[in-house]
Amino acid sequence: MLTTIYAKTIRDRRLGMTIATSVLALFMLYAMAVYSDIDLSIYTDLPQSLRELMGIPEGADAASLSYNVMLSAMGALTLAGLAISMGAAAIAGEERGGTIGLLLANPKSRTNVLVSKITSMVTLIAAVTVVLWAAGLGIPALLDVEIGQTHVGAMMLHLGVNSIFYGFMAAAIGGWTGNRSLASGATAGVMVLSYFAVGLLPLIESLADLARVFPWYYYNASDPLVNGVDWGHLSVLLAGCALLGVLAVVGVNRRDLRGQSSGVTVLDRLRANPATNRMVDRLAGSTRVSRLWIKTASEHQGLLIVVSVTMFAVMGVMLGPMYSAIEADLASMSEQLPEALIAIAGGGDMSTPEGFFQIETFSLMAPIAIMIVTIVIGARALAGEEANHTIGLLLANPIERSTVVLNQVVAMVLYAAVVGLATFAGVAVASIVSGLGMSIAGIAATSILVTLLGLLFGAFALLLSAATGQTKIAVYGTIGLALASHLLNSFLPLSARMAGYAKWTPNYYYLSSDPLINGMNWGHAALLTTLIAIMLVASVLLFDRRDLRQQ
């Protein structure tokens, strides 16, 4: 019998951690197998300075590249994302689910609950780190790949502490605000900003020292895979964890906790303003559930704001001047980088503004940004109502199940469109302001395609939510599919024999036609739209026929 909050949290979260660990380990196996078959001279012939920048030590090229792609980058982002999810849910998640009152009805203090939740997060992240460390040592031995002088353990230690840091940050924001979406969205924004700032700022000599402001610097700036553990950098992250932990405890104990999900929304504030009251009342209509999409949209407004601002300002507008400042260096680097490596990073010629934005903004960050909002809405749209035991009350109104699903779809499409529009506007402004001369039609086409890609995975999350009624299955299943699609689309083209299979991944129909330069590929857009429609119809049918859980 589970007698502690710590043990229950471990039980509730272990499935997601297991799936994430297994997927990362399997794809590291696949990546290392692919790299071991590639002519290593494309890496060994690179200039020493560039090799050091990429973290490829002499004598361990294939293994080091696998470590950097699957663990140092993808693994770090994945584990940090899981830690953020746990940290944001520690207190704010209980409040949103209306269970904080029941939890504190037991002889447990607020501090005890928070510490138990955070301790479970640290335990799970540590366990995943150890397993991936073992995989990082076992897979090269299995494939007979030489790893040379790489310090896999040091990299994993840095990776684990980095992930825990962001988990503490999410817990602190959630503790002070009680808003899970804001806690996860704001922390994810800080993580993404740090990730790119640390990668780009050192390329500009006058701004190189500014990278030290960002947490990600203390994770990989010392290149632990090559140089081993940097205890000074780890001390900074650990001190940050301690400070954020104290802030989380203070915030939880000073604030009145909400027993129900009853936060004040943007619409509520607009209704309270006499100047906008009439307009908002017309927009929102009556309080019946026929306006369910407005309720759903309001619940995730904080997440939308954080993601949209990040894509517009950080991944859009700010990258224009950045490209202009380092254009010459990028041209030199582009000439030396192997085509295979560029393909893994998303493809594109780094010496051109289109190639730069394709790699920095559109290849990874734009899909992630849109998927964050679509998967959250899709997974919680139906399964969340069941988990909160509100599905019976909702359907007691004169409304069909299909209408409930379609209202959630409206909110999901609206949010995806807003993030896609923010991405388009940011890149377009960057091109105009910095005089980059990029095609506005090409930017629009790429933004539309990435919006469709995000909606495809959001529709899949909604499908799993409708079919199972389990939020965890919907979230983790969709993230697993998205990660597999991205990695397969990146690695399969490296093998002439396997390249054709990339067409079976959704990601192939996003950037393979080079829309930033060539404009819209209407065939690809039509295929993505058709897949979205099929999943949405299937969601309606499955939800309509399934027995729903009210307890």
- Counting every residue, how long is the chain? 551
In angstroms, what CA-CA distances link 414 with 196, 408, 419, 452, 455?
27, 10, 9, 12, 10
Domain that holds residue 128: 1-260
Question: What's the domain count of the chain?
Answer: 2
Last residue of a domain, one of 232, 260, 288: 260
Is residue 271 domain-resident? no
What region does 423 belong to: left with phi over 0, alpha with psi -120 to 50, or beta?
alpha
**230 and 345 co-located in one domain:** no
**237 and 156 co-located in one domain:** yes
pLDDT digits (tens, 9 = 90+) for 387-441: 655 565 566 565 677 777 787 888 889 999 999 999 999 999 988 988 888 999 9
Is residue 201 domain-resident? yes
Is residue 4 domain-resident? yes
**Nearest-angstrom CA–CA distance, 106 and 164:** 28
Maximum distance among all Cα pairs of the chain, rounded to whole angstroms: 72
Q: What pLDDT score was predicted for residue 223?
A: 82
Is residue 272 domain-resident? no
**233 and 312 co-located in one domain:** no
**185 and 71 co-located in one domain:** yes
Q: What pLDDT score was predicted for residue 43?
A: 53
Is residue 18 domain-resident? yes
Q: What pLDDT score was predicted for residue 162?
A: 93
**160 and 47 co-located in one domain:** yes
Last residue of a domain, one of 200, 231, 260: 260
What would the 3-class secondary structure string for 384-453 be? HHHHCCCHHHHHCCCCCHHHHHHHHHHHHHHHHHHHHHHHHHHHHHHHHHCCCCCCHHHHHHHHHHHHHH
**238 and 307 co-located in one domain:** no
Answer whether 184's CB lies under 8 Å from 303's CB.
Answer: yes
- Average pLDDT of the chain is 77
In angstroms, what CA-CA distances link 117 with 90, 122, 131, 164?
6, 9, 21, 12
What is the secondary structure of 181-211 as a DSSP string? Answer: HHHHHHHHHHHHHHHHHHHHGGGSGGGGGGG
Is residue 147 domain-resident? yes
**196 and 315 co-located in one domain:** no
Is residue 487 domain-resident? yes
Decide which of 123 and 56 is more confident. Answer: 123
- pTM exceeding 0.85: no
Is residue 295 domain-resident? no
**108 and 15 co-located in one domain:** yes
pLDDT greater than 90 at residue 523:
yes
**339 and 438 co-located in one domain:** yes
The confidence band for 286, taking pLDDT boundaries of 50, 70 and 90, is: very low
Q: What pLDDT score was predicted for residue 236?
A: 94
CA end-to-end span of the chain: 20
Q: What pLDDT score was predicted for residue 465?
A: 85
Q: Please tell me the least confidently modeled range out of 146-160, 194-208, 254-268, 433-447.
A: 254-268
Answer whether 148's CB lies under 8 Å from 63's CB.
Answer: yes
Over residues 294-306, the mean pLDDT reads 70
SS3 at position 355: helix
What is the secondary structure of 144-188 as a DSSP string? Answer: T---TT--HHHHHHHHHHHHHHHHHHHHHHHHHH--HHHHHHHHH
**Nearest-angstrom CA–CA distance, 461 and 456:** 9
Q: What pLDDT score was predicted for residue 157?
A: 93
**332 and 217 co-located in one domain:** no
Q: What pLDDT score was predicted for residue 49?
A: 45
Token couple for 334: 């582009």
